[in-house]
């Protein structure tokens, strides 16, 4: 492995600012690593190396100095396929949109480039952002921890690239768990921020708060670095928030042991595989043994399953109803079902779900005021065979829909809190397991400091990047 590949994103950025290496050198290192490992993983579906080199070649000496002064200083960054980049196809993994070229870059891309990102490619996604990364345009992404296994979704390509060393930073977005489940399956870190922290769009539903954009990286400190380059107000996003003037990188590098936290193995609302429970229980107990007060008070989330399904269907229908009407037979049945469910819902159902969501948010806020932080598994299951579209049962208990196996993440999307994901251990066969760390709304600064404490305590992050494995084994 090229020595540059194994460095953290922060080390690379510090080197760029010091003039120790140039962005072109980093692109060369990535190109070599991609050629070495990505044919087996298929994490990167769109190669933008020529675009990246062309943009760098056109920079004057003064512009290069300005680039070095930005938060990312020219660091190569991988974007998720769902993000629009001017002049590049955005097809969302669908054959229906395979020739759809973006007329302009979206706000997330614009912000990252303004803050020094050199975008070198796009990562693979499920069709229309499902929870398992395969599609008929770019194929299937495999898990570098065990090439027989799934990377989950929808930010599965981003997570696999980070874990295998074909990216230092990668973008993701999250409606029901898309930043979190892939991070767990690939043993990397991520942050689902509070709604409004990262400007999005312009989009069809600008006031939606279920879907957010956020960072993914190999470790918490690098997540903080990328978050610094993503945040900020943009008048084109009506819910975007102004920067607080804080350094999230600095916060992620300052370990904060919390006074107390609550641990819930299942949020009281879903099935979680026994082995996942055991690994997460061991991780939580380790913090308790380190002197942190641990509560097992269950979070007040009764009814969240029905609320999320109603609101998600409403959102999906708003985004894709016209497309489904025109191309129903060309889109996978799960997406068609979800859109048609949303289109058929009565206004009274959606209104009732919104009212119940308000109660859930108020109750959860009060819970966190008491417990300070909540720890819960980042995935209900271990990585499963890549040929399996999605789990249909957990420890023998049947699941009703194709997204029920991510209830543990979408329940937290519903109450609009920030959530960090940190790897916390491994199954008996060596597959990764991670924890969600939940903080009160808009407290990302404190959340990252606490996440850094847990990352050091659990000591898993140094095991990536790794070479792809035909089967996993427990790291030494």
- Whether the bond between 203 and the residue before it is cis, its omega within 30 degrees of 0, is no
Dist. CA 141–CA 146, nearest whole Å: 12
* Cβ–Cβ under 8 Å, residues 92 and 127: yes
Using CA atoms, how far residue 105 sits from 96, 158, 373, in Å, is 21, 19, 36
The secondary structure element, H or E, covering residue 434 is strand 432-438
CA-wise closest residue to 193 among 234, 241, 264: 241
Contacts of residue 107, defined as CB under 8 A and 6 or more positions apart, other chains included, come to 199, 200, 201, 202, 234, 236, 237
Q: What's the sign of the alpha-carbon dihedral 253, 258, 264, 269?
A: negative
Residues in a beta bridge with 44: 123
Residues 6+ apart with CB under 8 A from 30: 5, 76, 120, 166, 167
How far out from the chain centre does Cα 358 lie? Answer: 25
Q: Which residues contact 386 (CB under 8 A, 6 or more apart)?
A: 134, 140, 142, 143, 147, 148, 149, 150
Contact call for residues 117 and 85 (beta carbons, < 8 A): no
The dihedral built from the CA positions of residue 456, 164, 448 and 415, taken in this order, carries a sign that is: negative
What are the φ/ψ torsions at residue 29 (nearest 5 degrees)? -65, -45
Looking only at the bridges linking them, the beta strands covering 374-377 and 260-263 are parallel
Q: What residues act catalytically?
A: 80, 154, 178
List the helix and strand counts (H, then E) for the chain: 15, 15
The CA distances from residue 130 to 177, 398, 413, 470, in Å, are 10, 19, 15, 25
As a whole number of angstroms, the distance between CA 401 and CA 399 comes to: 6
- The angle formed by the CA atoms of residues 156, 160 and 161, to the nearest 5 degrees, is 115
CA neighbours closer than 13 Å in the CB half-sphere of residue 259: 5
> How far apart, in whole angstroms, are the C-alpha atoms of residue 390 and residue 379?
13
């Amino acid at each position: 492995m090229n020595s540059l590949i194994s460095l953290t994103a922060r080390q690379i950025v510090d080197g760029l600012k010091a003039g120790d290496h140039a962005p072109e050198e980093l692109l060369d290192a990535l190109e070599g690593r991609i050629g070495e490992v990505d044919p087996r993983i298929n994490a990167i579906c769109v190669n933008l190396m020529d675009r990246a080199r062309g943009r760098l070649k056109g920079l004057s000496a003064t512009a290069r100095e300005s680039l070095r002064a930005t938060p990312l200083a020219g660091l190569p960054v991988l974007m998720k396929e769902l993000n629009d980049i001017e002049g590049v196809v955005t097809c969302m993994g669908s054959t229906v949109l395979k020739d759809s070229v973006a007329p302009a870059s979206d706000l997330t891309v614009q912000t990252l480039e303004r803050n020094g990102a050199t975008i070198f490619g796009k990562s693979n996604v499920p069709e229309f952002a499902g929870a398992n990364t395969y599609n008929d345009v770019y194929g299937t992404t495999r898990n570098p921890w065990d090439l027989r296994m799934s990377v989950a979704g929808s930010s599965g390509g981003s997570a696999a690239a980070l874990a295998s060393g074909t990216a230092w930073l990668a973008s993701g977005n999250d409606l029901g768990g898309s930043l979190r489940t892939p991070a767990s399956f690939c043993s990397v870190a991520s942050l689902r921020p509070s709604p409004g922290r990262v400007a999005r769009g312009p989009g069809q539903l600008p006031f939606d708060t279920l879907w957010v954009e956020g960072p993914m990286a190999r470790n918490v400190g690098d997540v903080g670095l990328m978050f610094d380059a993503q945040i900020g107000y943009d008048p084109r996003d009506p819910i975007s928030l102004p920067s607080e003037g804080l350094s999230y990188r600095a916060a992620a590098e300052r370990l904060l042991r919390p006074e107390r936290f609550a641990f819930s193995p299942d949020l009281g609302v879903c099935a979680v595989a026994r082995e996942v429970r055991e690994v997460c229980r061991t991780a939580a107990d380790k913090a308790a043994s380190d002197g942190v007060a641990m509560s097992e008070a269950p979070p007040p989330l009764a009814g969240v399953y029905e609320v999320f399904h109603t609101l998600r269907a409403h959102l999906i229908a708003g985004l894709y109803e016209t497309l489904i009407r025109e191309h129903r037979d060309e889109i996978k049945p799960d997406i068609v079902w979800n859109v048609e469910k949303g289109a058929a819902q009565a206004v009274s159902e959606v209104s009732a779900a919104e009212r119940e969501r308000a109660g859930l948010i108020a109750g959860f806020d009060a819970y966190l005021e008491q417990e300070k932080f909540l720890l819960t598994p980042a995935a209900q299951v271990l990585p499963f065979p890549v040929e399996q579209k999605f789990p249909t049962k957990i420890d023998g208990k049947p699941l009703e829909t194709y997204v029920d196996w991510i209830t543990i993440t979408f329940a937290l999307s519903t109450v609009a809190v920030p959530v960090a994901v940190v790897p916390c251990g491994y199954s008996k066969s060596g597959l990764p397991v991670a924890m969600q760390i939940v903080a009160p709304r808009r407290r990302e600064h404190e959340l990252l400091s606490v996440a850094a404490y847990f990352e050091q305590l659990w000591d898993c992050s140094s095991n990536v990047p790794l070479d792809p494995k035909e089967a996993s084994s427990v790291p030494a």
